[in-house]
Structure 1
Amino acid sequence: MIRGIRGATTINSNTENEIVEKTLQLVEKMIQQNEIKSEHVAQVIISVTDEITAAFPAKALRLLNGWEYVPVMCTREVPVPGSLPFCIRVMMTVNTKTAQKEINHIYLYEAKKLRPDLVKEN
């Protein structure tokens, strides 16, 4: 079965280091909480809000062992007035036997406001 696994985080400053660091932290938690193996990932789409311009968050995935062949694409979020700024969102498409309601979607920092119904404190 193919499932989408969502994740989001926020950064405090538009720097390459923070963009890559916070994206890596988010993706590593998504991998751990959902027991994801890179060979089961069909694609990863990462979106950013307009304030994020210092680096491609996809760079973080290239730091992960075994993820060099996973297709990753970055895009821009729709700039809706009042939306959460400095936000990085990840949609990972994965082959898994896990039921939809058992997927662990990960929201960190200010991004917890996006889906408080899905936030699980660990």
Structure 2
Amino acid sequence: MVVRGVRGAITVDVNEEQPILQATARLLHEIVRANGIVPEDICSVMITVTGDLDATFPARAIRAMDGWDLVPLMCALEVPVQGSLEKCVRLLVHINTEKSQQQIEHVYLGGAQVLRPDLTKA
């Protein structure tokens, strides 16, 4: 078993609590589905948001999910690079797995697909 990182990102239309929480939950659900992850396999989740999303902590969405109450979560601000993608939530999920790097499915949804078009499925 090794520790691997699974990346994902999603954009939010507005800086409001519910859209941020819903987008975060949607992104994590898709990462979990695509990689066959269960909470027990998770080492930790790093969550970043762009500075224009300050209506809530995205970790609240994950903490509310069944079985995720003991998973270590950390929120941070994304580096504010001029001209970068706005209203974006990013996840880095550290998992214990037997999968190789090539078998990991990273997930980019909505406007965040521009971040890694090489990893975005059509």
TM range (shorter): over 0.9
- Structure-2-length-normalised TM-score: 0.97
Q: Partners in 2 of 1:8 and 1:98 — Cα distance?
A: 21
Q: Partners in 2 of 1:119 and 1:102 — Cα distance?
A: 14
Note the aligned Cα RMSD (angstroms). 0.6
Q: Partners in 2 of 1:120 and 1:2 — Cα distance?
A: 24
Question: Percentage identity across aligned positions?
Answer: 44
What pairs with 1:1-122 in structure 2 (closer than 5 Å)? Answer: 1-121=2-122
Q: Partners in 2 of 1:104 and 1:34 — Cα distance?
A: 6
Q: 1:105 is aligned with what amino acid?
A: H
Q: 1:64 is aligned with what amino acid?
A: M
Q: 1:53 is aligned with what amino acid?
A: D
- CA deviation after TM superposition for structure 1 residue 36, in Å: 0.4
Segments ≥4 residues shifted beyond 6 Å:
none
1:18-74 deviations in Å (ceiling 9; x for gaps): 000000000000000000010110000000001000000001111211110000010
- CA deviation after TM superposition for structure 1 residue 120, in Å: 1.2
Q: Partners in 2 of 1:120 and 1:97 — Cα distance?
A: 23
Size of the aligned set, in residue pairs, is: 121
- CA deviation after TM superposition for structure 1 residue 102, in Å: 1.1
Q: Partners in 2 of 1:101 and 1:18 — Cα distance?
A: 32
For 2:54, what is the secondary structure of its paired residue? coil
1:77-109 deviations in Å (ceiling 9; x for gaps): 110011000010000000001110110000000
Name stretches of at least 5 consecutive residues in structure 2 with no aligned partner. none
For 1:81, what is the secondary structure of its paired residue? coil
Name stretches of at least 5 consecutive residues in structure 1 with no aligned partner. none
